């Protein structure tokens, strides 16, 4: 028996309709035609929340540093820009982070009480702050 593609969904949250769905795609590395499927990280209708995929910016490190530099003084006053950059990078790049598409081309990431918003329209590239999961869900 050959498994072509299987998706397993998980619900996080307390009440029906309020959960966040994330999924695992267990695709074969090659199907019978020698092609692989595309894993979008999505399972069903999940409100545009997917597993963190990282940024695809031309200069990932520069984007992380710009976001950290913008947010450090206001949101992380006891930490250095380098420390905030490390936190930001961990949230964006972690496969455990949740990711949402927001309006105006922005993308939000959430992991462990930290929200990162990547904003390609802003000179600084976005922001990062400590926030509750509900805050992440209420972003638009």
pLDDT of residue 19: 39
Domain count, the chain: 2
Whether residues 74 and 128 share a domain: the answer is: yes
As a whole number of angstroms, the distance between CA 84 and CA 64 comes to 9
In a domain, 106, yes or no: yes
83 and 31 co-located in one domain: no
**Per-residue confidence (pLDDT) for residue 47, from 0 to 100:** 56
Three-state DSSP state, 69: helix
State residue 61's pLDDT score.
Answer: 87
Identify whether residues 81 and 117 lie together within a single domain.
yes
52 occurs within a structural domain? no
Lowest mean pLDDT among 17-21, 68-72, 108-112, 123-127: 17-21
In a domain, 53, yes or no: no
What is residue 1's predicted lDDT score, i.e. its pLDDT? 45
pLDDT of residue 8: 41
91 close to 128: Cβ distance less than 8 angstroms: yes
Structural domain boundaries, residue 131: 60-138
* Structural domain includes residue 130: yes
Q: Are residues 76 and 127 in the same domain?
A: yes
Contact 40, 95 (CB under 8 A): no
- Could you tell me if 65 and 30 lie in one domain? no
In a domain, 133, yes or no: yes
Residue that has been written with the tokens 């961990």 in this structure: 90
Residue 60: per-residue pLDDT: 84
Q: Is residue 9 part of a domain?
A: yes
User: Do residues 35 and 91 both lie within one domain?
Assistant: no
pLDDT digits (tens, 9 = 90+) for 57-88: 448 889 999 999 999 999 999 999 999 999 99
More confident residue, 122 or 32: 122
2: pLDDT confidence band, cut at 50, 70 and 90?
Answer: very low
96 versus 17: the higher-pLDDT residue is 96
Which of residues 57 and 139 earns the better pLDDT score?
139
pLDDT band (50, 70, 90) for residue 93: very high
């Amino acid at each position: 028996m050959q498994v072509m593609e299987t998706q397993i969904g998980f619900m996080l949250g307390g009440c029906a309709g309020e959960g966040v769905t994330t999924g695992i795609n267990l695709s074969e590395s090659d199907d019978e035609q020698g092609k692989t499927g595309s894993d979008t990280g999505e399972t069903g209708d999940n409100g545009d929340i997917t597993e963190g995929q990282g940024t695809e910016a031309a200069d990932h490190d520069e984007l992380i540093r710009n976001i950290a530099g913008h947010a450090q003084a206001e949101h992380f006053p006891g930490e250095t820009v380098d420390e905030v950059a490390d936190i930001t990078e961990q949230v964006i790049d972690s496969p455990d982070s949740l990711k949402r598409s927001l309006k105006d081309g922005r993308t939000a990431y959430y992991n462990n009480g930290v929200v990162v918003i990547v904003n390609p329209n802003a000179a600084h590239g976005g922001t990062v702050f400590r926030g509750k999961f509900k805050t992440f869900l209420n972003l638009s």
